[in-house]
Amino acid sequence: MNLKDRIPWQIKLIAKIILARVPVKYNFWKHLSLFSHGPMNHPEYAYGVFKKHFDRVGLSRKDNFVALELGPGDSLFSALIAYAFGAAETYLVDAGSFAVRDLRAYRLMAEFLTEKGLPTLDVSTFDTLEGLLEACSGHYFTSGLSSLKAIPDSSVDFIWSNAVLEHVRKREFAPMMCELRRIIAENGVCSHTIDLRDHLGYALNNLRFSHALWESEFMVRSGIYTNRIRYSEMLNIFKQAGFDAQVVNKQSWDTLPTPVNKFNKEFRRLPEEELKIWEFDVVLNPSAPL
Ligand SMILES: C[S@@+](CC[C@H](N)C(=O)[O-])C[C@H]1O[C@@H](n2cnc3c(N)ncnc32)[C@H](O)[C@@H]1O
Protein backbone atom coordinates (compact mmCIF):
# COMPACT_ATOMS: atom_id res chain seq x y z
CA MET A 1 0.00 0.00 0.00
CA ASN A 2 1.53 3.38 -0.95
CA LEU A 3 1.25 6.56 1.11
CA LYS A 4 -1.63 7.92 -0.99
CA ASP A 5 -3.69 4.78 -0.31
CA ARG A 6 -3.22 5.19 3.44
CA ILE A 7 -4.76 8.66 3.58
CA PRO A 8 -8.32 8.41 5.01
CA TRP A 9 -11.08 9.21 2.48
CA GLN A 10 -12.32 12.14 4.61
CA ILE A 11 -8.90 13.86 4.36
CA LYS A 12 -8.79 13.24 0.60
CA LEU A 13 -12.29 14.69 0.23
CA ILE A 14 -11.43 17.86 2.15
CA ALA A 15 -8.10 18.25 0.32
CA LYS A 16 -9.75 17.86 -3.08
CA ILE A 17 -12.55 20.30 -2.24
CA ILE A 18 -9.93 22.91 -1.29
CA LEU A 19 -7.45 22.19 -4.11
CA ALA A 20 -10.17 22.17 -6.78
CA ARG A 21 -10.75 25.84 -5.92
CA VAL A 22 -7.13 26.93 -6.31
CA PRO A 23 -6.91 28.79 -9.64
CA VAL A 24 -4.16 26.80 -11.40
CA LYS A 25 -4.29 24.96 -14.71
CA TYR A 26 -5.13 21.23 -14.99
CA ASN A 27 -1.58 20.41 -16.18
CA PHE A 28 -0.16 21.60 -12.86
CA TRP A 29 -2.32 19.15 -10.87
CA LYS A 30 -1.64 16.40 -13.39
CA HIS A 31 2.08 16.98 -12.92
CA LEU A 32 1.71 16.59 -9.14
CA SER A 33 -0.57 13.53 -9.65
CA LEU A 34 -3.28 15.27 -7.60
CA PHE A 35 -6.03 15.57 -10.20
CA SER A 36 -5.76 13.50 -13.33
CA HIS A 37 -8.08 12.09 -15.98
CA GLY A 38 -6.03 8.92 -16.19
CA PRO A 39 -2.92 7.68 -18.04
CA MET A 40 -4.07 8.19 -21.65
CA ASN A 41 -0.80 10.04 -22.39
CA HIS A 42 1.01 6.68 -22.13
CA PRO A 43 1.04 4.91 -25.54
CA GLU A 44 0.80 1.41 -24.11
CA TYR A 45 -2.22 2.26 -21.95
CA ALA A 46 -4.07 4.08 -24.76
CA TYR A 47 -3.35 1.20 -27.13
CA GLY A 48 -4.51 -1.39 -24.57
CA VAL A 49 -7.79 0.44 -23.98
CA PHE A 50 -8.54 0.74 -27.71
CA LYS A 51 -7.59 -2.87 -28.44
CA LYS A 52 -9.73 -4.23 -25.61
CA HIS A 53 -12.87 -2.53 -26.94
CA PHE A 54 -12.05 -2.99 -30.64
CA ASP A 55 -11.41 -6.75 -30.32
CA ARG A 56 -14.62 -7.14 -28.41
CA VAL A 57 -16.91 -5.61 -31.05
CA GLY A 58 -15.62 -7.77 -33.92
CA LEU A 59 -14.71 -5.00 -36.38
CA SER A 60 -11.80 -5.41 -38.77
CA ARG A 61 -9.38 -3.15 -40.58
CA LYS A 62 -11.34 -3.58 -43.81
CA ASP A 63 -14.59 -2.23 -42.39
CA ASN A 64 -13.91 1.45 -43.20
CA PHE A 65 -15.66 2.33 -39.95
CA VAL A 66 -16.39 5.60 -38.16
CA ALA A 67 -15.30 5.53 -34.50
CA LEU A 68 -16.10 7.64 -31.44
CA GLU A 69 -14.36 7.64 -28.09
CA LEU A 70 -16.26 9.22 -25.25
CA GLY A 71 -13.99 10.84 -22.65
CA PRO A 72 -10.49 10.38 -24.17
CA GLY A 73 -8.99 12.31 -21.23
CA ASP A 74 -5.32 13.21 -21.37
CA SER A 75 -4.49 12.50 -25.03
CA LEU A 76 -5.92 12.15 -28.51
CA PHE A 77 -3.79 9.06 -29.12
CA SER A 78 -6.98 7.16 -29.94
CA ALA A 79 -7.24 9.08 -33.25
CA LEU A 80 -3.84 7.69 -34.30
CA ILE A 81 -4.64 4.22 -32.98
CA ALA A 82 -8.06 4.05 -34.67
CA TYR A 83 -6.41 5.27 -37.91
CA ALA A 84 -3.89 2.41 -37.61
CA PHE A 85 -6.80 -0.03 -37.26
CA GLY A 86 -8.55 1.29 -40.38
CA ALA A 87 -10.98 3.93 -39.05
CA ALA A 88 -12.15 6.29 -41.79
CA GLU A 89 -12.98 8.95 -39.21
CA THR A 90 -12.67 9.26 -35.43
CA TYR A 91 -14.60 11.53 -33.08
CA LEU A 92 -13.11 12.22 -29.65
CA VAL A 93 -15.72 13.74 -27.35
CA ASP A 94 -14.79 15.02 -23.90
CA ALA A 95 -16.23 17.45 -21.36
CA GLY A 96 -13.21 19.76 -21.52
CA SER A 97 -9.93 20.25 -23.35
CA PHE A 98 -7.64 17.96 -21.33
CA ALA A 99 -5.57 16.31 -24.07
CA VAL A 100 -1.82 16.85 -24.29
CA ARG A 101 -0.97 19.22 -27.18
CA ASP A 102 2.77 18.60 -27.37
CA LEU A 103 3.46 16.76 -30.63
CA ARG A 104 6.42 14.95 -29.04
CA ALA A 105 3.88 12.83 -27.15
CA TYR A 106 2.17 11.93 -30.44
CA ARG A 107 5.54 11.03 -31.97
CA LEU A 108 6.00 8.46 -29.19
CA MET A 109 2.54 7.07 -29.90
CA ALA A 110 3.35 6.79 -33.62
CA GLU A 111 6.66 5.03 -32.82
CA PHE A 112 4.77 2.58 -30.62
CA LEU A 113 2.39 1.77 -33.51
CA THR A 114 5.31 1.37 -35.94
CA GLU A 115 6.96 -1.08 -33.53
CA LYS A 116 3.74 -3.07 -33.59
CA GLY A 117 3.91 -3.12 -37.41
CA LEU A 118 0.83 -0.92 -37.75
CA PRO A 119 0.40 1.91 -40.27
CA THR A 120 0.77 5.42 -38.88
CA LEU A 121 1.54 9.01 -39.84
CA ASP A 122 4.91 10.74 -39.79
CA VAL A 123 4.20 13.11 -36.89
CA SER A 124 7.38 15.12 -37.58
CA THR A 125 5.71 16.54 -40.72
CA PHE A 126 3.03 18.35 -38.66
CA ASP A 127 3.39 21.68 -36.83
CA THR A 128 0.13 21.52 -34.92
CA LEU A 129 -2.12 18.98 -33.27
CA GLU A 130 -4.95 20.22 -35.49
CA GLY A 131 -2.92 19.35 -38.62
CA LEU A 132 -2.19 15.87 -37.29
CA LEU A 133 -5.84 15.31 -36.37
CA GLU A 134 -7.00 16.44 -39.80
CA ALA A 135 -4.61 13.98 -41.47
CA CYS A 136 -6.14 11.05 -39.60
CA SER A 137 -9.71 12.42 -39.93
CA GLY A 138 -9.95 13.01 -36.19
CA HIS A 139 -12.36 15.51 -34.63
CA TYR A 140 -11.89 16.65 -31.05
CA PHE A 141 -15.02 18.05 -29.39
CA THR A 142 -14.95 19.25 -25.80
CA SER A 143 -18.54 20.08 -24.83
CA GLY A 144 -19.78 16.63 -23.79
CA LEU A 145 -23.47 16.10 -24.47
CA SER A 146 -23.76 19.29 -26.60
CA SER A 147 -20.93 18.02 -28.81
CA LEU A 148 -22.72 14.72 -29.39
CA LYS A 149 -25.77 16.65 -30.59
CA ALA A 150 -23.73 17.97 -33.54
CA ILE A 151 -22.97 14.45 -34.87
CA PRO A 152 -25.32 13.19 -37.63
CA ASP A 153 -27.88 10.40 -37.03
CA SER A 154 -26.74 6.77 -37.57
CA SER A 155 -23.27 7.90 -38.63
CA VAL A 156 -20.96 6.09 -36.15
CA ASP A 157 -20.11 2.37 -36.29
CA PHE A 158 -18.08 1.95 -33.11
CA ILE A 159 -18.35 3.85 -29.83
CA TRP A 160 -16.18 3.10 -26.82
CA SER A 161 -15.43 4.56 -23.43
CA ASN A 162 -13.15 3.62 -20.57
CA ALA A 163 -13.85 4.79 -17.01
CA VAL A 164 -16.06 7.59 -18.34
CA LEU A 165 -19.77 6.75 -17.97
CA GLU A 166 -19.57 6.95 -14.16
CA HIS A 167 -18.34 10.55 -14.50
CA VAL A 168 -21.17 11.80 -16.71
CA ARG A 169 -23.38 14.11 -14.66
CA LYS A 170 -26.38 12.14 -13.37
CA ARG A 171 -28.94 14.45 -14.94
CA GLU A 172 -27.16 14.11 -18.32
CA PHE A 173 -26.74 10.34 -18.26
CA ALA A 174 -30.07 9.26 -19.84
CA PRO A 175 -29.99 12.12 -22.44
CA MET A 176 -26.41 11.10 -23.32
CA MET A 177 -27.46 7.47 -23.88
CA CYS A 178 -30.27 8.71 -26.16
CA GLU A 179 -27.72 10.76 -28.16
CA LEU A 180 -25.40 7.74 -28.47
CA ARG A 181 -28.39 5.68 -29.63
CA ARG A 182 -29.27 8.37 -32.20
CA ILE A 183 -25.77 8.54 -33.71
CA ILE A 184 -24.94 4.82 -33.72
CA ALA A 185 -25.45 3.09 -37.08
CA GLU A 186 -28.06 0.33 -37.35
CA ASN A 187 -25.31 -2.33 -37.26
CA GLY A 188 -23.08 -0.30 -35.00
CA VAL A 189 -21.80 -1.38 -31.60
CA CYS A 190 -20.68 0.28 -28.37
CA SER A 191 -18.33 -1.05 -25.70
CA HIS A 192 -17.95 0.57 -22.29
CA THR A 193 -15.94 -0.12 -19.14
CA ILE A 194 -17.57 1.37 -16.05
CA ASP A 195 -15.92 1.75 -12.65
CA LEU A 196 -18.56 1.93 -9.90
CA ARG A 197 -16.17 2.69 -7.01
CA ASP A 198 -15.76 6.04 -5.34
CA HIS A 199 -12.80 8.11 -6.46
CA LEU A 200 -11.62 8.78 -2.91
CA GLY A 201 -10.55 5.41 -1.56
CA TYR A 202 -11.86 3.08 -4.29
CA ALA A 203 -14.62 1.95 -1.96
CA LEU A 204 -18.23 3.23 -1.66
CA ASN A 205 -17.73 6.34 0.44
CA ASN A 206 -19.56 8.39 -2.18
CA LEU A 207 -22.79 6.58 -1.26
CA ARG A 208 -22.73 8.21 2.19
CA PHE A 209 -24.00 11.52 0.85
CA SER A 210 -27.54 12.70 0.12
CA HIS A 211 -28.60 13.30 -3.47
CA ALA A 212 -28.98 17.04 -2.85
CA LEU A 213 -25.45 17.46 -1.48
CA TRP A 214 -23.69 15.11 -3.92
CA GLU A 215 -25.35 16.60 -7.00
CA SER A 216 -24.73 20.20 -5.88
CA GLU A 217 -22.41 22.32 -8.04
CA PHE A 218 -20.10 22.50 -5.03
CA MET A 219 -19.47 18.73 -5.00
CA VAL A 220 -19.58 18.31 -8.77
CA ARG A 221 -16.73 20.83 -9.06
CA SER A 222 -14.50 19.09 -6.50
CA GLY A 223 -12.77 16.60 -8.79
CA ILE A 224 -14.30 13.55 -7.09
CA TYR A 225 -17.66 13.41 -8.84
CA THR A 226 -19.15 10.12 -9.99
CA ASN A 227 -22.85 9.83 -10.76
CA ARG A 228 -23.41 6.87 -8.35
CA ILE A 229 -25.78 5.17 -10.84
CA ARG A 230 -25.65 1.51 -9.80
CA TYR A 231 -25.28 -1.51 -12.09
CA SER A 232 -28.97 -2.50 -12.59
CA GLU A 233 -30.11 1.09 -12.93
CA MET A 234 -27.48 1.73 -15.57
CA LEU A 235 -28.48 -1.37 -17.53
CA ASN A 236 -32.06 -0.17 -17.35
CA ILE A 237 -31.11 3.25 -18.75
CA PHE A 238 -29.26 1.57 -21.66
CA LYS A 239 -32.42 -0.42 -22.39
CA GLN A 240 -34.70 2.63 -22.14
CA ALA A 241 -32.45 4.46 -24.61
CA GLY A 242 -32.92 1.66 -27.19
CA PHE A 243 -29.92 -0.62 -26.64
CA ASP A 244 -29.60 -4.34 -26.05
CA ALA A 245 -26.97 -4.74 -23.35
CA GLN A 246 -24.64 -7.70 -22.96
CA VAL A 247 -22.47 -7.65 -19.84
CA VAL A 248 -19.13 -9.23 -20.78
CA ASN A 249 -17.26 -8.73 -17.52
CA LYS A 250 -18.36 -8.04 -13.97
CA GLN A 251 -16.14 -7.58 -10.91
CA SER A 252 -17.53 -7.80 -7.38
CA TRP A 253 -16.03 -7.39 -3.93
CA ASP A 254 -16.33 -10.40 -1.60
CA THR A 255 -17.44 -8.08 1.17
CA LEU A 256 -18.60 -4.48 0.99
CA PRO A 257 -15.68 -2.05 1.52
CA THR A 258 -17.95 0.52 3.22
CA PRO A 259 -20.61 -0.52 5.78
CA VAL A 260 -24.21 -0.35 4.51
CA ASN A 261 -25.37 1.51 7.63
CA LYS A 262 -23.10 4.42 6.61
CA PHE A 263 -24.87 4.83 3.25
CA ASN A 264 -27.47 7.43 2.54
CA LYS A 265 -30.98 5.91 2.73
CA GLU A 266 -31.24 6.03 -1.09
CA PHE A 267 -28.59 3.27 -1.29
CA ARG A 268 -29.19 1.41 1.98
CA ARG A 269 -32.21 -0.40 0.54
CA LEU A 270 -30.32 -1.85 -2.45
CA PRO A 271 -29.47 -5.58 -2.47
CA GLU A 272 -25.97 -6.27 -1.16
CA GLU A 273 -25.06 -8.29 -4.27
CA GLU A 274 -25.81 -5.20 -6.36
CA LEU A 275 -23.72 -2.93 -4.13
CA LYS A 276 -20.77 -5.33 -4.27
CA ILE A 277 -20.33 -4.86 -8.04
CA TRP A 278 -17.41 -2.46 -8.51
CA GLU A 279 -16.75 -2.66 -12.26
CA PHE A 280 -18.38 -3.99 -15.39
CA ASP A 281 -17.94 -4.07 -19.14
CA VAL A 282 -20.92 -3.89 -21.42
CA VAL A 283 -21.49 -4.22 -25.16
CA LEU A 284 -24.48 -2.31 -26.52
CA ASN A 285 -26.27 -2.92 -29.81
CA PRO A 286 -29.20 -0.88 -31.08
CA SER A 287 -32.31 -2.89 -30.13
CA ALA A 288 -34.79 -1.57 -32.69
CA PRO A 289 -34.93 1.14 -35.36
CA LEU A 290 -35.67 4.53 -33.80
C1 LIG B 1 -11.39 9.02 -15.43
S2 LIG B 1 -11.25 9.89 -16.93
C3 LIG B 1 -10.94 8.55 -18.07
C4 LIG B 1 -10.12 9.01 -19.24
C5 LIG B 1 -9.71 7.91 -20.20
N6 LIG B 1 -10.84 7.32 -20.85
C7 LIG B 1 -8.86 6.86 -19.53
O8 LIG B 1 -9.15 5.66 -19.65
O9 LIG B 1 -7.86 7.25 -18.90
C10 LIG B 1 -12.92 10.36 -17.30
C11 LIG B 1 -13.08 11.16 -18.57
O12 LIG B 1 -14.47 11.32 -18.84
C13 LIG B 1 -14.68 12.64 -19.29
N14 LIG B 1 -16.09 13.02 -19.15
C15 LIG B 1 -16.78 13.29 -18.03
N16 LIG B 1 -18.03 13.69 -18.33
C17 LIG B 1 -18.14 13.62 -19.67
C18 LIG B 1 -19.17 13.93 -20.59
N19 LIG B 1 -20.36 14.36 -20.18
N20 LIG B 1 -18.92 13.78 -21.91
C21 LIG B 1 -17.71 13.36 -22.35
N22 LIG B 1 -16.68 13.06 -21.52
C23 LIG B 1 -16.89 13.21 -20.21
C24 LIG B 1 -13.73 13.43 -18.42
O25 LIG B 1 -13.54 14.74 -18.86
C26 LIG B 1 -12.49 12.56 -18.50
O27 LIG B 1 -11.73 12.84 -19.64
CA dihedral 63, 69, 75, 78 (to 10 degrees): -10
CA distance 191 to 187: 14
Q: Cα dihedral sign for 266, 269, 275, 280? A: negative
Ligand 1 near 220 CB (within 6 A): no
**Ligand 1 mean position to 261 CA, how many Å?**
31
Which atom of ligand 1 is least distant from the CA of 161? 6
Residue 281: closest CA among 193, 189, 197: 193
pLDDT tens sequence across 38-65: 789 999 999 999 999 999 999 988 889 9
Task: Please give the share of the chain, as a percent, with pLDDT higher than 90.
Answer: 81
Ligand 1 contact, 40 CB (< 6 A): yes
Question: Which DSSP helix (H) or strand (E) runs through 182?
Answer: helix 170-183
Report CA(61)–ligand 1 centroid distance (Å).
26
Instruction: Check if 38 has its Cβ closer than 6 Å to any atom of ligand 1.
Output: yes
pLDDT of 119-148, one tens digit each?
999 999 999 999 999 999 999 999 999 999
Q: What is the pLDDT of residue 112?
A: 98
Domain 39-162 of CATH type 3.40.50: yes
Distance from Cα 90 to the centre of ligand 1, integer Å: 16
Q: What is the spatial distance between Cα 191 and Cα 46, in angstroms, rounded to a whole number?
A: 15
The span from the CA of 102 to the CA of 123, in Å, is 11
Higher pLDDT, 96 or 20: 96
Higher pLDDT, 3 or 101: 101
Check whether 36 has a pLDDT greater than 90: no
Map out the domains of the chain as residue ranges.
Answer: 1-36+167-187+194-290, 39-162
C-beta 168 within 6 A of ligand 1: yes
pLDDT tens digits along 174-214: 999 999 999 999 999 999 999 999 988 899 999 999 999 99
- Collapsed DSSP state (helix, strand, coil) of residue 137: coil
How much is the pTM?
0.93
> Which amino acid residue places its CA nearest to atom 4 of ligand 1?
73
**DSSP symbol at 25:** -
Q: CB-based burial of residue 252 (10 Å sphere; 0-12 exposed, 13-18 middle, 19+ buried)?
A: middle
